[in-house]
């Protein structure tokens, strides 16, 4: 090889490499994920198609940035039809389950809502525009911290988070118009029934750990009578018992 051919070869190699990379570089920038479109599709194909009709709930599912509530490596999957890991062995529920539970709770603009199991903060964020105030309790301090940061950065101002055992509810903020429980106990906690207003709705998965549970809608009528019905079989992480507030 003459000394003159070496640089030419190198230049060729560089050009070839650049050409090979060009399509992937350009498609990478052109394919920046369109999360709004992904949410539209999610609502149409996973949620409305399965019978969720409440237009305010559908609108909240359309506008809540689910991808910002999951770990970065999970973002490409954020709008898919399944739950995702959020750390500490916990999961964010499948989008349809969040929408169904929210619809069953019948959120109204003046309502006080309680959520047990903050997790990523996503369910609280979906509820936030639909009610007056959301109170949410998380047993695992690290998850509560991350959720609080996400909600603050996204400007949710009507959500309060507390670290503790949600089995006890949040007596100081009670009574609530609606309560959504996103971890499964083996029975309905009496404190949650007590903290429900007359006319209130409690949506809760109940059943044994690591087996099929039932999503239950429990309503308290104006006379304080409790009515309960099983809506659908579900699978949630267990509601663990903690040691009060931290
Ligand atoms: N709603 C969440 C997902 C919840 S996963 C979201 O939108 O991301 C269930 C959560 O319940 C987990 O974060 C788990 O740590 C929490 N949890 C389990 N037992 C609890 C208890 N006794 N009190 C409060 N939170 C509890």
Q: Please give the pLDDT value at position 210.
A: 80
Annotated active-site residue 26? The verdict is: no
CA 111 to chain centre: 19
Tell me if the pTM is above 0.85: yes
Q: Please give the pLDDT value at position 23.
A: 43
Whether cis (ω within 30° of 0) applies to the bond prior to 35 is no
Residue 204: both structure tokens together = 């809760």
Neighbours of 50 (CB within 10 A): 11
167 lines ligand 1 (CB under 6 A): yes
96 lines ligand 1 (CB under 6 A): no
Q: Which domains does the chain have, with CATH numbers?
A: 93-234 (3.40.50.150)
Q: What is the DSSP string of the chain?
A: --TTHHHHHHHHHHHHHHHHHHHHHHHHHHT---HHHHHHHHIIIIIGGGT---HHHHHHHHHS-GGGGS-GGGGGGTTSSS-EEEETTEEEPPHHHHHHHHHHT---TT-EEEEE--TTSHHHHHHGGGSSEEEEEES-HHHHHHHHHHHHHTT--SEEEEES-GGG--GGG--EEEEEE-SB-SS--HHHHHTEEEEEEEEEEES-TTS-EEEEEEEE-TTS-EEEEEEEEE---B-----S--
**Mutation pick for ligand 1 pocket among 71, 96, 119 (CB with most ligand atoms within 8 Å):** 119
**Mutation pick for ligand 1 pocket among 82, 138, 191, 209 (CB with most ligand atoms within 8 Å):** 138
pLDDT tens digits in sequence order for the chain, 246 residues long: 444 444 444 444 443 444 444 444 444 445 678 999 999 999 999 999 999 999 999 999 999 999 999 999 999 999 999 999 999 999 999 999 999 999 999 999 999 999 999 999 999 999 999 999 999 999 999 999 999 999 999 999 999 999 999 999 999 999 999 999 999 999 999 999 999 999 999 999 999 988 899 999 999 999 999 999 999 999 999 999 876 555
Q: Please give the pLDDT value at position 242.
A: 78
Q: Please give the pLDDT value at position 232.
A: 97
| Ligand 1 center to 212 CA (angstroms) | 18
What is the Cα–Cα distance from 114 to 5, expressed in whole angstroms? 74
């Amino acid at each position: 090889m003459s000394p003159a051919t070496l640089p030419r070869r190198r230049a060729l190699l560089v050009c070839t490499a650049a050409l090979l990379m060009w399509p992937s570089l350009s498609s990478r920038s052109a394919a920046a994920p369109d999360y709004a479109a992904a949410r539209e599709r999610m609502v149409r194909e996973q949620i409305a198609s399965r019978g969720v009709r409440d237009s305010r709930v559908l609108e909240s599912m359309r506008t809540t940035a689910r991808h910002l509530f999951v770990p970065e490596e999970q973002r490409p999957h954020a709008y898919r039809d399944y739950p995702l890991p959020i750390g500490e062995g916990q999961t964010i529920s499948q989008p349809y389950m969040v929408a169904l539970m929210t619809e069953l709770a019948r959120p109204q603009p003046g309502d006080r809502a309680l959520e047990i199991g903050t997790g990523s903060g996503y369910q609280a964020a979906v509820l936030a525009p639909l009610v007056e105030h959301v109170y949410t309790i998380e047993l695992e301090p690290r998850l509560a911290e991350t959720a609080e940061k996400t909600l603050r950065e996204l400007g949710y101002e009507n959500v309060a988070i507390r670290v503790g055992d949600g089995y006890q509810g949040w007596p100081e903020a009670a009574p609530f118009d609606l309560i959504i429980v996103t971890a499964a106990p083996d029975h309905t906690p009496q404190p949650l029934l007590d903290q429900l207003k007359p006319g209130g709705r409690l949506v809760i998965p109940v059943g044994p750990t690591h087996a099929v549970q039932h999503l239950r809608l429990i309503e308290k009528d104006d006379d304080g009578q409790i009515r309960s019905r099983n809506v659908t079989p579900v699978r949630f992480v267990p509601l663990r018992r903690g040691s009060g507030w931290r």
